């Protein structure tokens, strides 16, 4: 890693930590930044999990009272999401790097769509679930989306929030605390699998963690002072631009 790469990753980690604390969706620019620093796509994806861990975990201390209210649901939710994340991470571990590279534009587009339409999806999911708040179907959905979480994960938070509300945690802050716990849970599981599989670039991850730790702290202090709707528009615009650029690079410049 060159000195400019170190500066880039600290800066991007700082912005990513702030962004995750305020609006979420930091992977849409931290992942490309890791590739710009010279990491192969699969390694950049795995390293990104560790690099952003502080910003994901920082909110848990602030939500300890809400987590206590959630009670026994936390165990089954963590178990199901953890199993899904482990499955997704193992899929990445055995994936052909060229296959993952070809999927990158689609993953970025999917993450952008989740971020853009996540609230509408959350409302529809809650409405369609009706009285079956503890049904097997809800946990099946959690398992499936957690596979995506373990494989790539960007934009997943709004779906986790919906699942928490569907099973009966209708208070927003309580549901948000569950979302943060599940995200932290499957991030740690994925990091363990990626680390054992040799996919993590530890120096790059630790450099990014310096920035994301500070960013998560600052973002937590600024969260209530920033217009989140404006930030969300910026995230969606940037994610759309990235998706177009990577589709162009993968399927037009590189060719079939």
What single-letter DSSP state applies at residue 38? T
pLDDT digit string, tens, across residues 18-35: 877 766 678 888 999 999
pLDDT for 166:
77
Do 73 and 48 meet the contact criterion of CB atoms below 8 Å apart? Answer: no
Block residue for tokens 């930044």: 33
Q: What is the pLDDT of residue 223?
A: 59
Contact 75, 182 (CB under 8 A): no
Q: Which residues contact 18 (CB under 8 A, 6 or more apart)?
A: 215, 216, 218, 219, 222
pTM of structure:
0.80
pLDDT of residue 65: 81
How many C-beta neighbours within 10 Å does residue 182 have?
A: 28
Picking from 100, 238, 79, 87, the residue whose alpha carbon sits closest to that of residue 150 is: 87
**Confidence at residue 251, expressed as pLDDT on a 0 to 100 scale:** 83
DSSP label at residue 107: H
- Alpha carbon 127 to its chain's center: 24
* The predicted structure's pLDDT at residue 27: 84
| DSSP string of 188-228, one letter each residue | HHHHHHHHHTT---HHHHHHHHHHHHHHHHHHHHHGGGS-H
| Res 24: pLDDT | 67
Which residue matches tokens 């920033």?
A: 226
Residue entry with tokens 């928490």: 164
Ranges of residues in the chain whose predicted pLDDT is under 50:
none
Domain span at residue 60 reads 3-253
Q: What is the pLDDT of residue 131?
A: 54
Counting the structural domains of the chain, the total is 1
């Amino acid at each position: 890693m060159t000195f400019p790469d170190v500066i880039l990753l600290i800066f991007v980690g700082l912005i990513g930590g702030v962004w995750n604390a305020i609006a979420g969706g930091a992977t849409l620019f931290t992942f490309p930044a890791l590739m710009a620093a010279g990491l192969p796509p699969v390694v950049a994806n795995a390293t990104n999990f560790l690099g952003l861990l502080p910003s994901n975990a920082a909110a848990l201390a602030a939500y300890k009272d809400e987590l206590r209210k959630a009670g026994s649901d936390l165990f089954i939710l963590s178990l199901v999401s953890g199993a899904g994340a482990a499955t997704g991470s193992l899929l990445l571990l055995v994936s052909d790097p060229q296959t993952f590279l070809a999927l990158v534009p689609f993953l970025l587009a999917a993450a952008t769509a989740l971020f853009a339409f996540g609230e509408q999806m959350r409302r529809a999911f809650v409405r369609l679930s009706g009285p079956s708040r503890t049904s097997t179907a809800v946990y099946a959905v959690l398992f499936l989306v957690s596979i995506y979480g373990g494989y790539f994960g960007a934009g997943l938070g709004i779906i986790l929030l919906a699942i928490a509300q569907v099973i009966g945690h209708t208070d927003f802050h309580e549901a948000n605390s569950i979302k943060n716990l599940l995200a932290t849970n499957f991030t740690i599981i994925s990091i363990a699998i990626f680390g054992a599989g040799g996919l993590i670039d530890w120096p790059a991850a630790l450099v990014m963690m310096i920035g994301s730790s500070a960013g998560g702290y600052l973002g937590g202090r600024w969260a209530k002072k920033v217009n989140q709707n404006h930030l969300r528009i910026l995230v969606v615009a940037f994610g759309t631009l990235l998706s177009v650029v990577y589709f162009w690079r993968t399927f037009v410049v590189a060719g079939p």
